[in-house]
Chain A
Amino acid sequence: MKRKVGFKTLGCRLNQFETDALASKFVNLGYDVVEDSKDTDVFVVNTCTVTNQSDQKSRYVVNKALNQGHGGMLIITGCMANHHKEQLEKRYPNAYVINNDQKSAIPQLVEAHFNKEIKPSNDHKGGVFSYAPAAETFHTRSMIKIQDGCDNYCTFCIIPKVRGRAVSRSVDDILENIRQVVSFGYKEVVITGVNISRYNDNGTNFSALLKQIVDLDLDFRVRISSIEPDSFDDEFFELLKHPKITPHLHLCLQSASESVLLKMRRMYTYKLYQRIIERLRTIDPLFNITTDIIVGFPEESVADFQQSLDAVNEMQFGHVHTFKYSKREDTRAARMTNVVPEKEKTKRSEELRQVAVDAKIKYRKQFIGKTQQVLIDTVKDGYSKGYGEYYIPVKIAGKLKKNQLYNIQILDMENDSIDPCLRAKIVE
Chain B
Amino acid sequence: MERFKKMNKQAIIMSKEVPVANKIKTDLHEILDIRYLTDSTFVLRIEKKELDFEAGQHVCVGPPNGIHTREYSIYSAEQDDCLEILVKEVENGLVSPSLKKLQKGGFVVVEEPVGYFTINKNLPANQKYVFIASGTGISPFHSFVLSKPDLNYTLLHGVKYAEEAYEADAFNKEDYVLCTSQESKGDYNGRVTDYLKTNSFGKDAHYYLCGNCNMIHDVYDILEEQGVSTDNIHAEVYF
Contact = CB atoms under 8 A, between A and B. Distances in A.
B114 A133 contact: no
Contacts of A33: 1, 4
Nearest to A273: B230
A419 B145 CA distance: 54
Nearest to A28: B12
A359 to B, nearest CB: 25
Given A132-B15, A169-B18, A265-B237, A34 B115 contact: no
A24 B217 CA distance: 49
Interface string A133-150: 111100000000000110
A101 B22 contact: yes
A427 interface: no
Interface in A1-54: 23-25, 27-28, 30, 32-35
A267 B234 CA distance: 9
Contact of B7 (A34, A135, A180, A258): A135
Contact of B3 (A101, A127, A136, A166): A136
Contact of B18 (A133, A136, A173, A332): A173
B11 A271 contact: no
Interface in A140-174: 148-149, 151-153, 160-161, 163-167, 169-170, 173
A131 interface: yes
Contact of B19 (A130, A263, A275): A130
Given A32-B1, A135-B12, A271-B224, A127 B216 contact: no
A177 B15 contact: yes
B21 interface: yes
A176 B231 CA distance: 35
A269 interface: yes
Nearest to A265: B237
B36 interface: no
B54 to A, nearest CB: 12
A389 B112 CA distance: 41
B217 A176 contact: no
Interface residues of A, number: 54
A134 B15 CA distance: 10
Nearest to A264: B237
Contact of A269 (B23, B230, B239): B230
B228 to A, nearest CB: 11
Given A135-B11, A151-B116, A165-B114, A263 B213 contact: yes
B164 interface: no
Kindly name the residue among B14, B21, B112 whose own CB sees the greatest number of chain A CB atoms within 10 A.
B21
A259 interface: yes
Kindly name the residue among B1, B217, B237 whose own CB sees the greatest number of chain A CB atoms within 10 A.
B237
B7 to A, nearest CB: 5
A128 B17 CA distance: 9
A184 interface: yes
A253 to B, nearest CB: 15
B220 A165 contact: no
Contacts of B224: 271
Contacts of A176: 15-16
Interface of A: 23-25, 27-28, 30, 32-35, 101, 125, 127-136, 148-149, 151-153, 160-161, 163-167, 169-170, 173, 176-177, 180, 183-184, 258-259, 262-263, 265, 267-269, 271-272, 275, 332
A-B pairs with lowest CB-CB distance, top 4: A164-B22, A129-B18, A167-B22, A262-B213
Given A131-B15, A132-B12, 16 more contacts: A23-B4, A27-B12, A101-B22, A129-B18, A132-B14, A132-B15, A135-B8, A136-B7, A161-B24, A173-B16, A177-B15, A184-B11, A259-B213, A262-B217, A267-B116, A272-B230
16 contacts: A30-B9, A34-B1, A101-B22, A128-B20, A134-B12, A135-B12, A136-B7, A153-B115, A164-B21, A164-B22, A165-B112, A167-B20, A169-B18, A176-B15, A177-B15, A272-B230
Interface of B: 1, 3-9, 11-24, 71, 112, 114-116, 213, 216-217, 220, 224, 230-231, 235, 237, 239
